[in-house]
Structure 1
Amino acid sequence: MIRAILPALLLAGCAALPGPSVPVGGVPPGTPDAATARTQLAALVVQTPLSLSGYERSCEKACVFGQPWMDVDGDGCDQRSQVLARDLTNVERKEGRCAVKSGTLQDPYTGETVSSVSKIQIDHVVPLAEMWRSGAANWDTGRRTEAANDLRNLVAVQGKTNQSKGDQTPDQWMPPNAGYACAYARIYVGTKASYSLTTTAAERAALDSALSTCT
Structure 2
Amino acid sequence: MRVRALMAGLATMAVLTGCGGLEAQLTSPETSKPDSASVSDARKKLAKLAVKGRAPRTGFDRDEFGPAWADVDRNGCDTRNDILKRDLTNEKFKSGTHDCIVLSGTLKDPYSGKTIDFKRGQDTSMDVQIDHLIPLSDAWQKGAQRWSETKRKEFANDPLNLMAVDGPLNNQKSDSDAATWLPPRKSYRCTYIARQVDVKAKYELWVTSAEKDAMETILSDC
Q: Could you tell me which residue of structure 1 aligns to residue 61 of structure 2?
A: 56
Q: State TM-score, norm by structure 2.
A: 0.82
Once the 2 structures are TM-superposed, how far is the Cα of residue 213 of structure 1 from its aligned partner?
2.8
Q: Could you tell me which residue of structure 2 aligns to residue 38 of structure 1?
A: 43
Instruction: Kindly tell me the number of residue pairs found equivalent between the two proteins.
Output: 192
SS in 2 for 1:194: helix
Q: Greater RCO between the two (CA within 8 Å, min separation 6)?
A: 1
Identity of aligned residues (%): 42
* Change beyond 3 A, Cα 1:188–1:207: same
Alignment of 1:31-180 (within 5 A): 33-57=38-62, 63-97=63-97, 98-117=100-119, 118=125, 119-180=127-188
Once the 2 structures are TM-superposed, how far is the Cα of residue 26 of structure 1 from its aligned partner?
3.5
Q: State TM-score, norm by structure 1.
A: 0.85
Once the 2 structures are TM-superposed, how far is the Cα of residue 174 of structure 1 from its aligned partner?
0.1
Once the 2 structures are TM-superposed, how far is the Cα of residue 8 of structure 1 from its aligned partner?
2.0
CA RMSD of aligned residues (A): 1.8
Code of the aligned partner of 2:101: A
Once the 2 structures are TM-superposed, how far is the Cα of residue 27 of structure 1 from its aligned partner?
4.2
Unaligned runs of 5+ residues in structure 2 are 1-9, 15-21, 120-124
Query: Could you say which structure has the higher helix fraction?
Result: 2
Code of the aligned partner of 1:121: Q
Code of the aligned partner of 2:117: S
Counterparts of 1:26 and 1:165, CA distance in 2 = 22
Counterparts of 1:9 and 1:37, CA distance in 2 = 18
Counterparts of 1:9 and 1:201, CA distance in 2 = 31
The answer (yes or no) to whether the contact 1:69–1:80 under 8 Å persists in 2 is: yes
Alignment of 1:16-35 (within 5 A): 25-27=30-32, 33-35=38-40
* Change beyond 3 A, Cα 1:124–1:211: same
Code of the aligned partner of 1:101: L
Counterparts of 2:32 and 2:192, CA distance in 1 = 8
Q: Could you tell me which residue of structure 1 aligns to residue 209 of structure 2?
A: 201
Unaligned runs of 5+ residues in structure 1 are 12-24, 58-62
Counterparts of 1:49 and 1:9, CA distance in 2 = 32
The answer (yes or no) to whether the contact 1:104–1:113 under 8 Å persists in 2 is: yes
Runs of 4 or more above 3 Å deviation: none
Superposed CA offset, 1:60-93 (max 9, x none) = xxx1000111112111111111111111110111
Q: Could you tell me which residue of structure 2 aligns to residue 10 of structure 1?
A: 28
